[in-house]
Amino acid sequence: MKDIKKEDLELLYDMEKNNYKMEVTIQELDERISKLGIPLHIEKPNLLKYSKSLKIKDFTSVFSIIGPIICFIITLTTGVGTLSSMGFLEQVVVIIFAAIFSVVIGIPVGALVGTIICFIANSLKTSYNNKKLEQAYKREYILYENKVKKDKLRLSNEEKEIQVLEYNIERLRRKQSVSFEKLNSFYNTVGIDENYRNLIPIGYMYDFIRLGISTKLEGADGLYYLIRKELRYDQIQASLNKIITLLEKIVDQNSMIYHELKEINDSCKIIAENTCQIAKNTSNILKNSESIKSELEKHNELLNNIEKNSEINNYLAERTRKEIYYQNYLENKLNDRVTVIE
């Protein structure tokens, strides 16, 4: 039966965790991108709102009543001397005539005067209120324009942030593709059955060999048997995306691998937050750069700033060094096998 070294499984498990970490980081960055570049709904001031019809006071009916009264008083006042020299019946006739005259003349004259006063008063009131409403509309429109300008600036800055985040995602994807190929090559060198080439089974195998439960791959007490006994088929075959989405259901929460993957999830959130902060800083640098710079110069400045300050850049460099070490380790191991055979 074939024995396997703890170092070999540790190497494979570390590579699997690395691919998992890159996938989680990519998803974290994607989630943050989805929240950027969304324009605010800013309601434009409605002119109709500031063109309300005014309640016009009606003086016509009032003066239609007052007019005859005033007219009657004037008629009697001017004829007081004449009435005093008349007899009672004559006075009654004159008063009745004055009353009729006041109604006939006073109503239309009062209505006309009331209409004129109504027109003048309401014209003044309308002009005054229109000025107030126009001023209020202008103030509201200035606030609206400032909000629109501020939001456009925010969207412009966030567009640069998105470029930074997308560039880092692209770098992670490229590195992930290379790491997958190397991992597959490492699996071939170590000699792991294809059915167990996955994060969860490799994690459990490493835990078993770390605890000294088994050092063999095959047989009744081998790692393959223990994995089949410990895990369901869907756990053995679970993809990275499924593990990320259903970690609590896929992996036993008391296991070593569960706690390590939870720590990776937490570290990925920190990486994503730091990368977002770098993206904001880079956006501000570009915003404050000289306007005479060409788009190509700004793009190169963007990439240079990312390369210098990106936490992801440091992580990828460290992973590259480690994978070179793993590759050299396995090549030496393979050469030793060839030497022994010869």
Does residue 56 register a pLDDT over 60? no
Most confident of 162-166, 199-203, 291-295: 199-203
Residue 97 lies in a domain: yes
pLDDT for position 49: 63
Q: Which residues contact 303 (CB under 8 A, 6 or more apart)?
A: 167
Same domain, 334 and 257: yes
pLDDT for position 114: 56
Largest CA distance in the chain: 161
Among 145, 168, 201, the domain boundary falls at 145
Does residue 200 register a pLDDT over 70? yes
Indicate the pLDDT class of residue 289, thresholds 50, 70 and 90. low
Indicate the pLDDT class of residue 337, thresholds 50, 70 and 90. low
58-96: per-residue pLDDT in tens?
Answer: 555 555 556 556 655 665 555 544 555 555 665 566 566
Higher pLDDT, 314 or 117: 314
Residue 1 lies in a domain: no
Same domain, 269 and 216: yes
Contacts of 282-287 with CB under 8 Å at 24 or more apart are 282/160, 282/161, 282/164, 282/306, 282/309, 283/157, 283/158, 283/160, 283/161, 283/164, 284/157, 286/160, 287/156, 287/157, 287/160
d(Cα 18, Cα 182) in Å, to the nearest integer? 12
Among 114, 145, 176, the domain boundary falls at 145
Flag whether the pTM goes above 0.75: no
User: Which range marks the domain in which residue 95 is found?
Assistant: 47-145
Same domain, 201 and 175: yes
4 CA to centre of own chain:
50
241: left (phi over 0), alpha (psi -120 to 50) or beta: alpha
d(Cα 198, Cα 206) in Å, to the nearest integer? 12
CA 234 vs CA 79, 238, 246, 294: distances in Å: 118, 6, 12, 53
CB atoms within 10 A of CB 127: 9
Tell me the H-state helices in 80-198: 80-84, 88-190
Same domain, 161 and 227: yes
- Of 166, 217, 144, 178, the closest CA to residue 26 belongs to 166
pLDDT for position 292: 46
Residue 236 lies in a domain: yes
Does residue 335 register a pLDDT over 80? no
Sign (positive or negative) of CA dihedral 161, 162, 167, 172: positive
Same domain, 222 and 328: yes
pLDDT for position 340: 40
Does residue 16 register a pLDDT over 90? yes
Same domain, 300 and 231: yes
- CB-based contact 83:94 (threshold 8 Å): yes
Q: Which helix (H) or strand (E) holds 333?
A: helix 311-341
Q: How many domains, the chain?
A: 2
Q: For the chain, how big is the Rg over CA atoms in Å?
A: 45
Residue 134 lies in a domain: yes
pLDDT for position 128: 60
Same domain, 117 and 265: no
Tokens read off for 91: 């006075």
Same domain, 133 and 276: no
Residue 202 lies in a domain: yes
pLDDT for position 133: 74
161-193: per-residue pLDDT in tens?
Answer: 898 899 899 999 999 999 999 999 999 999 999
d(Cα 317, Cα 311) in Å, to the nearest integer? 10
Range with the lowest mean pLDDT among 5-19, 106-120, 200-214?
106-120
CA 335 vs CA 5, 115, 152: distances in Å: 16, 114, 62
110 CA to centre of own chain:
67
Percent of the chain scoring above 70 in pLDDT: 65
CA 252 vs CA 20, 22, 62, 125, 210: distances in Å: 17, 22, 90, 79, 18
221-250: per-residue pLDDT in tens?
Answer: 999 999 999 999 999 999 999 999 999 988
Number of helical H runs and strand E runs in the chain: 12, 0
Residue 265 lies in a domain: yes
Mean pLDDT, rounded, of the chain: 80
Indicate the pLDDT class of residue 265, thresholds 50, 70 and 90. very high
Same domain, 261 and 138: no
Among 95, 121, 145, the domain boundary falls at 145
Same domain, 114 and 221: no
Residue 217 lies in a domain: yes
pLDDT for position 79: 52
Same domain, 93 and 180: no
Does residue 203 register a pLDDT over 80? yes
Indicate the pLDDT class of residue 57, thresholds 50, 70 and 90. low
d(Cα 50, Cα 133) in Å, to the nearest integer? 5
Same domain, 180 and 281: yes
